[in-house]
Amino acid sequence: MSVCLYFHVHQPYRVKKYRAFEVGRDHSYFNDSSSSDLNNEKIIRKVAEKSYLPASAVLVELLRRHPEFKFAFSFSGVVLDQMEQFAPDVLDSFRNLVRSSRGRVEVLGDTYHHSLSFFYSPREFERQIVLHRRKISKIFGQVPRVLRNTELSYNNDLARWADRNGYLGILAEGWDPVLGWRSPNYVYRPKGTGKIKVLLKNYRLSDDIAFRFGERSWSEWPLTADKFSSWVSAAHLDGETVNLFMDFETFGEHQWTDTGIFDFLRALPGELLKDKYNHFLTPTETLRKYQPVGEIDVPNVLTWADTERDLSAWTGNDIQRSAIKEIYALENRVLRSRDPDLIEDWRRLQTSDHFYYMCTKWFADGDVHKYFNPYETPFDAYISFMNAVDDLKLRLDNPKKKRSLNISLSNK
């Protein structure tokens, strides 16, 4: 049985509290400098200290201790930009980790701006894929062979696109209604494709770590590494690869240090390797090793989120749908402006997190969204976002006007 691990690293450029008065006057949307959770620099530093740095240190240690240990990362372009801007030491730590791993750490393909562009503008999606590929190759010296789209969003069309564009494989949620009686622990072929394969997230085992690890009311609490690896061993009769996909912030940020999450991570590879039938593979190796056992048909968009596993967390209500439409409606005018700052601001506003913050589902069901929402309410998120869009439109109307640079590295 292979174990295929991948950690997702992403932070959005959150829009500051941007009021109607600022429209037409202040063209910087992402530079909150207050003590709130809209301060991107503060968040990057906080997440780095709590999660990225200590978790990376554990991974370095594990790579050294277990020559068999392998895994993958995916980085959004916007998190890499923010690290360059606010936390170069953290970027160095990731760079060294990947570059010194001799191929044992794979970096996946993604959209640069962590956007849902594939479903709104395939051409913009392609541009963001190219931007991302360049960035990854420059920093990590790898060209992604496996695609992981924003929020694990996936459908047949995306698989066909990835197939045409030479990817070995693509990642998706291993959701029961899609699989029917079948197991997520095999490699499958997306419907209507020739060569590409899909790796499905084993969401039960992944979420045991990512969501349930520190939950004292959970019947399996406390989760130990040997208990977890016994669950993986129990899956031997049910497939060839267990794909564990999760946010890297799981370690230290979503699950705090005092839950024992770092000790768990430190012990896990050793425990898994105690079973001689277990081994680690990167996504590329997994895709090369196993043949598809069947076809996966996903006509509607599948994501990791909520019990619906669809896009409703991002586009489920009217304000979300209108905000995302507004932003893509500006595409031609923005690109024609040839103004790099304006284009970059427009792209940063495409980041899926903005729409997630406008989700009103949590009023009824659970608090996942609330936990991740730096705005007081979804309406506050919408209002700041739309004010920024209104300002962006004014900039399109007055292209000649002098503007201050959006990102100013010098005064940091």
d(Cα 130, Cα 135) in Å, to the nearest integer? 9
**Part of the chain binding other proteins (CB under 8 A), chosen from 75-83, 165-173, 208-216, 321-329:** 321-329
Per-position x/- string for 26-65, each x denoting binding to other proteins as judged by CB under 8 A, each - no binding: ----------------------------------------
**Part of the chain binding other proteins (CB under 8 A), chosen from 18-26, 117-125, 134-142, 163-171:** 18-26
Does residue 315 belong to the site contacting other proteins (CB under 8 A)? Answer: no
Catalytic-residue membership of 151: yes
d(Cα 331, Cα 323) in Å, to the nearest integer? 14
Q: How many residues does the chain have?
A: 412
Q: How far is the CB of 382 from other proteins (least distance, A)?
A: 6
Does residue 383 belong to the site contacting other proteins (CB under 8 A)? Answer: yes
> Is the Cβ of residue 265 or residue 383 nearer to other proteins in the bound state?
383
DSSP string, 94-128: HHHHHHTTTTSEEE-B--TT-B-GGGT-HHHHHHH
Does residue 143 belong to the site contacting other proteins (CB under 8 A)? Answer: no
Per-position x/- string for 330-369, each x denoting binding to other proteins as judged by CB under 8 A, each - no binding: ------------------------------x--x------
> Is the Cβ of residue 139 or residue 324 nearer to other proteins in the bound state?
324
The active-site residue out of 22, 106, 151, 249 is: 151
> Is the Cβ of residue 61 or residue 376 nearer to other proteins in the bound state?
376
- Contacts of residue 410, Cβ cutoff 8 Å, sequence gap at least 6: none
Residue 293 is which amino acid?
V
Does residue 394 belong to the site contacting other proteins (CB under 8 A)? Answer: no
Does residue 317 belong to the site contacting other proteins (CB under 8 A)? Answer: yes
d(Cα 75, Cα 185) in Å, to the nearest integer? 24
d(Cα 236, Cα 220) in Å, to the nearest integer? 21
> Is the Cβ of residue 275 or residue 390 nearer to other proteins in the bound state?
390
The tokens describing 141, both together, are 């010296």
**Part of the chain binding other proteins (CB under 8 A), chosen from 38-46, 94-102, 232-240, 376-384:** 376-384
Does residue 20 belong to the site contacting other proteins (CB under 8 A)? Answer: yes
User: Kind of pairing, strands 169-173 and 187-190?
Assistant: unpaired
d(Cα 234, Cα 232) in Å, to the nearest integer? 5
Give the count of beta carbons closer than 10 Å to the beta carbon of residue 132.
24
How many residues in the shown chain lie near other proteins by CB under 8 A?
19
Residue 280, strand partner residues: 3
Q: How far is the CB of 20 from other proteins (least distance, A)?
A: 4
Does residue 397 belong to the site contacting other proteins (CB under 8 A)? Answer: no
Does residue 376 belong to the site contacting other proteins (CB under 8 A)? Answer: yes
Give the count of beta carbons closer than 10 Å to the beta carbon of residue 230.
14
Give the count of beta carbons closer than 10 Å to the beta carbon of residue 338.
9
d(Cα 111, Cα 351) in Å, to the nearest integer? 10
Q: How far is the CB of 17 from other proteins (least distance, A)?
A: 9
Does residue 371 belong to the site contacting other proteins (CB under 8 A)? Answer: no
Element (H, E) at 313: helix 312-315
The tokens describing 368, both together, are 């996942």
Q: Are 264 and 213 in contact (CB under 8 A)?
A: yes
Does residue 387 belong to the site contacting other proteins (CB under 8 A)? Answer: yes
Does residue 377 belong to the site contacting other proteins (CB under 8 A)? Answer: yes
Nearest Cα to Cα of residue 9 among 41, 53, 66: 53
> Is the Cβ of residue 327 or residue 383 nearer to other proteins in the bound state?
383
Sole binder of other proteins in the list 87, 209, 319, 327 (CB under 8 A) = 319
340: left (phi over 0), alpha (psi -120 to 50) or beta: alpha
User: Kind of pairing, strands 295-296 and 187-190?
Assistant: parallel
**Part of the chain binding other proteins (CB under 8 A), chosen from 177-185, 222-230, 258-266, 319-327:** 319-327
Does residue 381 belong to the site contacting other proteins (CB under 8 A)? Answer: no
Does residue 68 belong to the site contacting other proteins (CB under 8 A)? Answer: no
Residue 8 is which amino acid?
H
Q: Are 363 and 355 in contact (CB under 8 A)?
A: no
Q: How far is the CB of 389 from other proteins (least distance, A)?
A: 10
Q: How far is the CB of 399 from other proteins (least distance, A)?
A: 23
Q: By the criterion CB under 8 A, which residues form the site for other proteins?
A: 19-21, 317-319, 321-323, 360, 363, 376-377, 379, 382-383, 386-387, 390
Known catalytic residues are 151
